Chain A
Amino acid sequence: MPINLYIFLALALFSIGVIGVLTRRNAIIIFMCIELMLNAVNLLLVAFSKMHLADSMAAGAAPTLTNGLDAQLFVFFIMVVAAAEVTVGLAIIVMMYRNIHSVDVNFLNRLKN
């Protein structure tokens, strides 16, 4: 597949995530839109990894299997960091809901009280 299609798909997903963060006021939905943006980046990294592999194979070199390996490991680490982020973020959201009984970010624009 042409790499441009993957770039456009990832850009569309990322922009939908940006629009969600800008327009929604529910903290959990904003959080889910951040996950969407992370996944758009993951898809782009995997597509570029395979582009790099195709590139090295087209150059005539024997496919050494390690071309494009780093990008896929980066995706793995992004998933790790996202999982850690989600646990802490959801704990913070639950704590805020206990304090003010709402997850609307319009009420959360002050750090105190």
Chain B
Amino acid sequence: MNITEILFWLLTAVALGGALLVVTSKNPVYSVLALIATFFALSGHYILLNAQFLAVVNLIVYAGAIMVLFLFVIMLMNLNTETEPQKNKWLKLAGTIAGGCFLLVLVAALRDADSKSTMALVGSGDTGLIQNLGKALFNEYVIPFEISSVLFLSAMVGAVVLGKK
């Protein structure tokens, strides 16, 4: 077992544990913190796959900006107490069973999926470096890039309009 596999399993354990903690914890602040841990683990996976630009963007955008927004909203609403009544136990059980069946079906369907290559290249390959991604982004994908800036502007205007009401 070399260092790459050890790191893979470690990051996988952190990601899955954080994701489970997001769903199970009663306090929303703990959920946010667990989700930040999950995002850090996923960034570690991106670095392991040598997608360095996406790793840094994931940290800055998700763990840095979106999660801080979630924390601010939770603190604004004063939700850091257990406000969730949770009366219906059967609904929780049914939801868990449904999600488990979903996982089971997808794993069973994709376990023997036939693909040309079955290995993901780890630790090499220059695809994820910012030089190559930037060239592609500003040559072939420049129109979607500009449209996404318009999307951001409209989202910002929408959030301000909704928040001022």
**In the assembly, what is the distance between CA of A8 and CA of B8, in Å?**
13
Q: A108: CB under 8 A from chain B?
A: no
Which residues of B sit under 8 angstroms from A8, Cβ to Cβ?
A: 107
**In the assembly, what is the distance between CA of A76 and CA of B54, in Å?**
7
CB distance from B50 to the nearest CB of A (A): 7
Interface of B is mostly: helix
Which residues of A sit under 8 angstroms from B118, Cβ to Cβ?
A: 2-4, 51
Q: B110: CB under 8 A from chain A?
A: yes
Residue of B nearest to A90 (CB): B73
Which residues of B sit under 8 angstroms from A11, Cβ to Cβ?
A: 103, 106-107, 110
Which residues of B sit under 8 angstroms from A94, Cβ to Cβ?
A: 73, 76-77, 162-163
CB distance from B48 to the nearest CB of A (A): 8
With A50-B127, A69-B136, A84-B151 as known contacts, state yes or no: A9 contacts B12, CB within 8 Å: yes
CB distance from A73 to the nearest CB of B (A): 6
Which residues of B sit under 8 angstroms from A1, Cβ to Cβ?
A: 4-5, 8, 119-120, 122
**In the assembly, what is the distance between CA of A96 and CA of B152, in Å?**
22
**In the assembly, what is the distance between CA of A85 and CA of B5, in Å?**
35
Residue of A nearest to B16 (CB): A12
CB distance from B100 to the nearest CB of A (A): 7
- Asked if residues A55 and B19 are in contact (CB atoms below 8 Å), the reply is no
- Asked if residues A36 and B35 are in contact (CB atoms below 8 Å), the reply is yes
Using an 8 Å CB-CB cutoff, how does the interface string of B31-59 with A read, 1 for contact, 0 for none? 11001001100100110011101100110
Which residues of A sit under 8 angstroms from B156, Cβ to Cβ?
A: 87
Which residues of A sit under 8 angstroms from B154, Cβ to Cβ?
A: 84
A3-57 interface with B by 8 A CB criterion: 3-9, 11-13, 15-20, 22-26, 28-29, 31-33, 35-36, 39, 42-43, 46-55, 57
Contact of A76 among B57, B66, B95 (CB under 8 A): B57
Contact of B42 among A29, A43, A103 (CB under 8 A): A43
Chain B residues with CB under 8 Å of chain A are 4-5, 8, 12, 15-16, 19-20, 22-23, 28, 31-32, 35, 38-39, 42, 45-46, 49-51, 53-54, 57-58, 61-62, 65-66, 69-70, 73-74, 76-77, 79, 83-86, 91-92, 94-96, 98-100, 102-103, 106-107, 110-111, 113, 115-122, 125-128, 132-133, 136-137, 141, 144, 148, 151-152, 154-156, 158-160, 162-163, 165
